[in-house]
Amino acid sequence: MGNCGTREESATTSDTNNDGNQLQVTSSLEKKRSRSISGLSEPSTPRNDMNISEASRNNAMSYNTITSFTMFELETVTKSFRSDYILGGGGFGTVYKGYIDENVRVGLKSLPVAVKVLNKEGRQGHREWLTEVSLLGQLRHPNLVKLIGYCCEDDNRLLVYEFMFRGSLENHLFRKASVPLSWSKRMMIAYGAAKGLAFLHNSEWPVIYRDFKTSNILLDSDYTAKLSDFGLAKAGPRGDETHVSTRVMGTYGYAAPEYVMTGHLTVRSDVYSFGVVLLELLTGRKSVDKTRPNKEQSLVDWARPKLKDKKKMLLIIDPRLQDRYSLRAAQKACSLAYYCLSQNPKARPLMSDVVETLEPLQHGSSNDATLSSSMSPLAGGGGSDNRMGHRFVRTVGSAGGCRSRNMDCAQGTPVPCRVR
């Protein structure tokens, strides 16, 4: 499942057979499109008030430890799980909007929350619930959704998260009624999500997220990206281990090909999934879209060959951006996606390098990131940790503040814009 902030179409992957070689995808035949977060009616809290969301963010910071809630308290929070409080649903169960304050328990700070209720008949069960509690109870980062608390009472399993006011990236990218995201917002979201993944990969015991996709990236009121739904997360290899062998689980269209084929999981499996999401941000297309012509249904198969050509790569950029971006920044983002989607896992960059590359691309500024010559497909391998050949470096470009394909600079820019 994956959304603590808005409805999403159900698209979850079940366990594979004993060989672990296939992804089995179960998806809703009738795709239920959601109401936007701003359209949800919550009687106890004002709507569309950024001051409220700022206050909520500050209050969320006060929840430094996970709270154990009773079932009665969470029934109070969600008004007995009223149907008009439903935000979304998926493999885990149903997600409800709620509000906690001192009326629920003395001493609790006022905070809108999302309450995820385990579907007792569903495929994802206690193990996934326990994984989320264990991971999010230990790992805290600005780009991970904050776990406020949980409930484990009789056979009830619930999770309580901070509420994300703008819902999922999936809805912002693919809902027809949504306002197209600007280039800067897309790169800011990619940057934030990359920082979340890098944090997981660089923790004392590396964590492989395993289900990185647009529906699991939630957005705060200021478009800060936060990763959600850690039910499939897995402890990564340590020491001399090269990979973790596990059943193939995830979402079709995002899973790395070597993981699907062998069940061998590494942090670079997440890098591939990140490349798919970055491609979705660049093109405005879904990873898999059966409504398109056969050759365009798989986004990676259709777009990756074009990422190698500086002219062709610009033809795949989302037309809704209306050329409001720097050519140089677009080329660097496309090059980054190309290497993240490499068939060879060792040829993919580390997420720490991805973060370094994306940071200057958020505004298409003069600090455009470039791929070092060692990133060439012809370059040899690196050291024992495979870091050489994957290092991204920053150079000062001459794109200035230009955010358009036109050669003219924005008004007031002191230095002429030259896009090579």
How far apart, in whole angstroms, are the C-alpha atoms of residue 333 and residue 209?
22
Kindly state whether residues 334 and 214 are assigned to the same domain: yes
Run of H or E residues at 11: strand 11-14
pLDDT value of position 56: 56
pLDDT (0 to 100) of residue 51: 57
Domain that holds residue 32: 11-162
Answer yes or no: do 265 and 301 share one domain. yes
Question: How many angstroms separate the CA atoms of 401 and 408, rounded?
Answer: 10
* Residue 247: Cβ within 10 Å count: 13
- Please name which of 167, 154, 185 lies closest in space to residue 112, comparing C-alpha atoms: 167
Report the CATH number that the domain containing residue 341 is assigned in CATH. Answer: 1.10.510.10
Tokens linked to 343: 């068939």
CA distance readout (Å), 254 to 21, 209, 288, 293, 298: 15, 12, 9, 20, 10
> How many helical (H) and strand (E) elements, i.e. helices and strands, does the chain have?
10, 16
List the one residue out of 230, 194, 190, 225 whose CA is nearest residue 210: 230
Residue 308 CA to residue 315 CA, distance in Å, equals 12
Residues making up the annotated binding site are 116
**Predicted model pTM:** 0.74
Domain end among 99, 131, 162? 162
Count other Cβ atoms within 10 Å, centred on residue 27.
13
107 domain-assigned: yes
Q: How far apart, in Å, are the Cα atoms of 258 and each of 40, 268, 302, 304?
A: 41, 10, 19, 17
pLDDT in 10s for each residue of the chain, 420 residues: 444 444 333 333 334 444 444 444 333 333 333 333 333 333 334 344 455 556 555 555 556 688 999 999 999 999 999 999 999 877 678 999 999 988 888 888 889 999 999 877 655 577 788 888 888 888 889 999 999 999 999 888 999 999 999 999 999 999 887 789 999 999 999 999 999 999 999 988 899 999 999 999 999 999 999 999 888 888 878 777 777 777 888 788 999 999 999 988 999 999 999 999 999 999 999 999 999 999 999 999 999 999 988 889 989 999 999 989 999 999 999 999 999 999 999 999 999 999 999 999 987 543 443 333 334 333 333 333 444 334 444 433 333 344 444 433 333 333 333 333
Q: Is 245 a domain residue? A: yes
Residue type, 114: A
Give the separation between CA 250 and CA 198, rounded to whole angstroms. 19
Same domain, 48 and 196: no
- Binding-site annotation: residue ranges for ATP: 116
**Residue 327 shares a structural domain with residue 188:** yes
Nearest CA to 414 out of 366, 344, 359, 348 is that of: 366
- Asked whether residue 193 is domain-assigned, the answer is yes
Count of structural domains within the chain: 2
Q: Could you tell me if 108 and 100 are in contact, meaning their C-beta atoms sit under 8 angstroms apart?
A: yes
Give the Cα separation of 86 and 185 in Å (integer): 27
- 209: amino acid identity, one letter: Y
Would you say the C-alpha torsion 269, 270, 275, 281 has a positive or negative sign? positive
Contact between 345 and 269 under an 8 Å Cβ cutoff? The reply is yes
**Active site residues per annotation:** 211
Strand partners, 161: 114, 147
Q: Is residue 13 within 8 Å of residue 249, measured between CB atoms?
A: yes
CB atoms within 10 A of CB 19: 10
Last residue of a domain, one of 112, 129, 162: 162
Whole-number Å distance between alpha carbons of 145 and 4 = 9
Same domain, 154 and 183: no
Domain of 30, CATH number, reads: 3.30.200.20
Do 158 and 185 fall into the same domain?
A: no
Check residue 189 and give its pLDDT. 98
Residues 152 and 211 in one domain: no
